[in-house]
Chain A
Amino acid sequence: AQSVTQLGSHVSVSEGALVLLRCNYSSSVPPYLFWYVQYPNQGLQLLLKYTSAATLVKGINGFEAEFKKSETSFHLTKPSAHMSDAAEYFCAVSDPGFGNEKLTFGTGTRLTIIP
């Protein structure tokens, strides 16, 4: 079964500093990997996805993630944090057996931006 582990349930960074949110996956087959963001009292929206094309994936709002097979990682980064980045971030892996239907989410990382 596919799974993802997000290290750090809470991350705080200063405005303008580097954002690094960690995600490691476990999969018996080449995975599809995603980052979703959830702003307060809202649903989740897709930030970016890896679908076996380029290993460095760029998403919305200046975020990017790099797929590293040797480290089974898909960490999310942003060079310079903005106050509007404060949200909950979820890493997810897709179960290929179900096509695009079944996502398994990590437990989330709450990102706080310090002014």
Chain B
Amino acid sequence: DTAVSQTPKYLVTQMGNDKSIKCEQNLGHDTMYWYKQDSKKFLKIMFSYNNKELIINETVPNRFSPKSPDKAHLNLHINSLELGDSAVYFCASSQTLGQGALPGELFFGEGSRLTVL
């Protein structure tokens, strides 16, 4: 069973389209994240949710809208896609401090490679 699973794994689309990436974790964690990895492998946090509540939003354009229907799911919807949105998007999860977790112990999905043409 995959701990953190993302779909789709690959996504090719035209500029201006709207697309979504889904993420699910079966680890029982209460915090989930979206990270963006650009073509130079630089990883940057985009969003973090704790128990369905947004706690980190790193100055991401509002074309990006995360949605967390429950603490096991965090989806990413992107409107009006631009060329610069091409990247690999990683979902991750962790357990909140104070419940047995050590800091920074994130569990990552395999990534969703988005290509905007």
Contacts and interface: CB of A to CB of B under 8 A. Distances in A.
> Are these two chains actual partners, yes or no?
yes
Interface of A: 32, 34, 41-46, 49, 51, 88, 90, 92, 94, 96, 98-105, 107-108, 110
Nearest to B41: A108
Contacts of A92: 104
Contacts of A104: 45
Interface stretch (B59-67, B68-76, B77-85, B94-102): B94-102
B104 A34 contact: yes
Contacts of A88: 41
A49 B106 CA distance: 11
Contact of A103 (B42, B101, B104, B110): B104
Contact of B108 (A41, A43, A51, A102): A43
B103 A46 contact: no
Contacts of A99: 96-97, 103
A46 B108 CA distance: 9
Contacts of A102: 45, 48, 56
Q: What 4 pairs between A and B have smallest CB-CB spacing?
A: A43-B108, A100-B103, A105-B43, A94-B104
Contacts of B96: 99-100
B48 to A, nearest CB: 5
Q: Quick one: which of A88, A99, A107 has the most chain B CB within 10 A?
A: A99
A101 B56 CA distance: 9
B105 interface: yes
26 contacts: A41-B111, A43-B90, A43-B109, A43-B110, A44-B43, A44-B90, A45-B107, A49-B103, A51-B102, A51-B103, A88-B41, A90-B43, A92-B104, A98-B56, A100-B31, A100-B101, A100-B102, A101-B31, A101-B55, A101-B94, A102-B48, A103-B45, A105-B42, A105-B44, A107-B40, A108-B42
Given A34-B104, A94-B104, A101 B90 contact: no
B114 interface: no
Nearest to A100: B103
